Structure 1
């Protein structure tokens, strides 16, 4: 079984690419969604987050995501600490999830920070989804209603797109000019050919 990572900066179109791969019949593990769930369900992680951010970062059992985002995307050390708390648990979830698909030829992990969290080390190949900065900003504004400044803070907290492209095995240009489906098909075919 090939374990493939799909990554890219905020607004690059990772989820769109993974939706297409899923429609092709391949299982997708969305690390960001699992992380969101873990921070509200795992008592050890909740305790660790409260130790760093204070008890009032939770209200009625729900993490104040907006406040956490304000804090971590303006303070790289806090972001690093949060990732250190959450990502080992996400990795464990992924490893258990993979066991359900042992007979599959290919599974995919979608994650914004595959390289920063060292998740890439457990994967066979990495697909990077790339898009021009202004396209990414406009997508996130439309999707999340965030300000340009907040979006840029998030972009600047992640590995720069150029670095992702250097480190990826495959690149999908999601620039609203090139079609992404043909790019995905070529990559999947290449991956499966190499695994035979």
Structure 2
């Protein structure tokens, strides 16, 4: 089984590209969505987060994401602690998810914004990075999230710079509204499948 990781900075359209791969019949693991589910359902994550960060992080059976975000946003030490609790559990979950599909699918993809930062690139065979011009990314996120330009730029600046992410990429997909995403995805699938034969 070939595992492909799809990543890209905010506003690049990484999730749209992942959905196109999925339309080709390739199983898709959305790391952000699965992490949210695990944060609510995993007794281990709940126990560790309440122990390390605070007792009042959970209301009923759900993690209070806003409260956690407000705590870790300005505290890099606490952010590192939270990541050290969640990321290994997510990695285990992804590995098991892959194992359940290894006989039925020759290829799977993981959509992960923090593929590089969280070290998830170690669990995939190929890294696909989605790129887009900075101004287009800013415009997309401002429209999508109703954010100000300053807010979007602050979020962009908190992410690993594109030139660093590129070092890990096996394939680049350009989402600039001029190049066909469908064609680029089909080309990547053809190359990856061809190289594995």
Match of 1:139 in 2: 140
Distance 1:2 1:78, change over 3 A: same
Q: Which digits, 9 at most, give the CA deviation of each residue in 1:130-185, with x for residues without a partner?
A: 12223223322333334444433332332111211222010111122222111111
Which stretch shifts more, 19-28 or 54-63? 54-63
Normalising by structure 2, report the TM-score.
0.90
Match of 1:83 in 2: 83
Distance 1:113 1:62, change over 3 A: same
Match of 1:12 in 2: 12
Distance 1:100 1:51, change over 3 A: same
Match of 1:179 in 2: 180
Normalising by structure 1, report the TM-score.
0.91
Distance 1:150 1:60, change over 3 A: farther
Match of 2:37 in 1: 37
- Counterpart-to-counterpart distance in 1, 2:55 and 2:26: 40
Match of 1:51 in 2: 51
Count of equivalent residues: 196
Q: Which runs of 5+ in 1 are unaligned?
A: none
CA-based RMSD: 1.8
Matched, 1:153 2:149: no
- Counterpart-to-counterpart distance in 2, 1:9 and 1:44: 30
Q: Which runs of 5+ in 2 are unaligned?
A: none
